[in-house]
Amino acid sequence: MYIVSTKSAEHVGKILLNKGLNVAFTDVNKEGNREFPDGELYVKVRDVDKLSGERVVVLHSGQPDANGGLVELYSVLEVLNKPLLSSHVEGKKYKYTSLKKPASVEVFFLYFPYGMQDKVFESGECNMAESVVRMLTKYYGVSKIYVMDAHFEGAEWVGKYPLVCVKARDAIAGAMHKGGVLDAVMVAPDLGAQARLDISGFSKKRNNSFDVELSGHESLEGSVKGKTVVVWDDLIETGGTMCRASESLRKMGAKKVVAAATHGVLDSGVRKINDAYSKLYLTNTIDTKYANVDVSGVVLAAIGK
């Protein structure tokens, strides 16, 4: 088996390489860049000849560049579908030799781009999350797609595709245990997180991307007073919801409020959470300096290595 790591997943790919796995990375161009002067991406898969006949898992994270990252991912899959050895003859002439394709190609999303656009909310929109999945499976022939803490888990359309929803919960819980967070009350900041994590918590009304209102305080007050409380969510963007949750829990008399999340999407929001809580436990599904929980073991367990 080979792991092919895109640029956004290199930080986890290098950990897997150090654990003894076969890992191939995408490369830079002759100028040492991943972009051409006009901004178009340059994509090259190292050691493509070694992937012939192998099971290949492409490791990708949908942030910090959701749009460019998808172009890179599609380009990698194009290489794997039509692998070639190229040799320069002269001038603009090249000689190409077709290589045997990998035995199978899978994709592991550390973070899934467009995962929150998982249904049509208003007229004129599309389900972009399903569109990405359909492109991978129907066009590129990807046999299995793993997604770490997918926002769309449980959506009606998910069952139509070879999707595997992978959980980072045990990795985060293990890190909290090592950090001395014991006998804590788990709280979700909104109804979506309650359903995904199967824990009680707040309800949320979102006025816009930055302004939220929380309710449901009455059901929590008796259980959090004098306790260590962990506010647990799948991702942090602007940080508004979790900051409001921290304020409310402290007013209710929580002794200590800790934050836990899988995906740190926006550094500005993660920084707000890091400042608002006693401690933040955040995985490295997205490469950020605030990440302190490694998910490489979760990846290995999911792909069966």
Q: How far apart are CA 186 and CA 228, in angstroms?
A: 9
Instruction: Give mean pLDDT, residues 45-61.
Output: 96
- pLDDT at position 225 is 86
Q: Starting at the earlier edge strand, list the strands of the sheet with 228-236.
A: 185-187, 228-236, 256-264, 279-282
The dihedral region occupied by 119, where left means phi > 0, alpha psi between -120 and 50, and beta the remainder, is beta
Query: 169-282 is classed in which CATH architecture?
Result: 3-Layer(aba) Sandwich (3.40)
Instruction: Indicate whether 10 pLDDT > 70.
Output: yes
Mean pLDDT, the chain, as a whole number? Answer: 90
Instruction: Give mean pLDDT, residues 259-263.
Output: 96
Instruction: Indicate whether 81 pLDDT > 70.
Output: yes
Length of the chain (residues): 305
Of 164, 180, 189, whose CA–CA distance to 112 is shortest?
164
- pLDDT at position 205 is 47
Q: How far apart are CA 168 and CA 301, in angstroms?
A: 11
The dihedral region occupied by 114, where left means phi > 0, alpha psi between -120 and 50, and beta the remainder, is left
Least reliable range by pLDDT among 20-24, 40-44, 88-92, 99-103:
88-92
Instruction: Indicate whether 37 pLDDT > 60.
Output: yes
Find the helix or strand (DSSP H, E) in which 104 lies.
Answer: strand 104-111
- Give, in words, the CATH class of 2-167+296-303: alpha beta
Q: How far apart are CA 251 and CA 238, in angstroms?
A: 22
The number of beta carbons lying within 10 Å of the beta carbon of residue 268 is: 11
Tokens of 278: 């006693």
Percentage of the chain beyond pLDDT 70 is 89
Least reliable range by pLDDT among 17-31, 149-163, 190-204, 262-276:
190-204
Span 200-214, pLDDT tens digits: 666 554 544 555 555
> Which DSSP letter does residue 293 get?
B
Q: Helix 240-251 vs helix 267-276: angle between axes, to the nearest 10 degrees? A: 10
Instruction: Give mean pLDDT, residues 258-287.
Output: 95
Helices (H), the chain: 10-18, 66-81, 128-134, 169-178, 191-197, 218-224, 240-251, 267-276, 296-303
Instruction: Indicate whether 71 pLDDT > 50.
Output: yes
The CA-atom distances, in angstroms, between 219 and each of 196, 250, 283 are 19, 15, 29
Half-sphere exposure of residue 266: CA atoms within 13 angstroms, side-chain side: 11
Residue pair 70/119 in contact (Cβ under 8 Å)? The answer is no
Q: Please report, for the chain, the start and end positions of each structural domain, with discontinuous segments joined by +.
A: 2-167+296-303, 169-282
Instruction: Indicate whether 267 pLDDT > 50.
Output: yes
Find the helix or strand (DSSP H, E) in which 251 lies.
Answer: helix 240-251
Q: What is the DSSP string of 26-43?
A: B---TTS-SB-TTS-B--
Q: How far apart are CA 128 and CA 117, in angstroms?
A: 6
| Better pLDDT: 74 or 153 | 74
Span 120-130, pLDDT tens digits: 999 999 999 99
Nearest 5°: phi and psi at 13? -60, -40
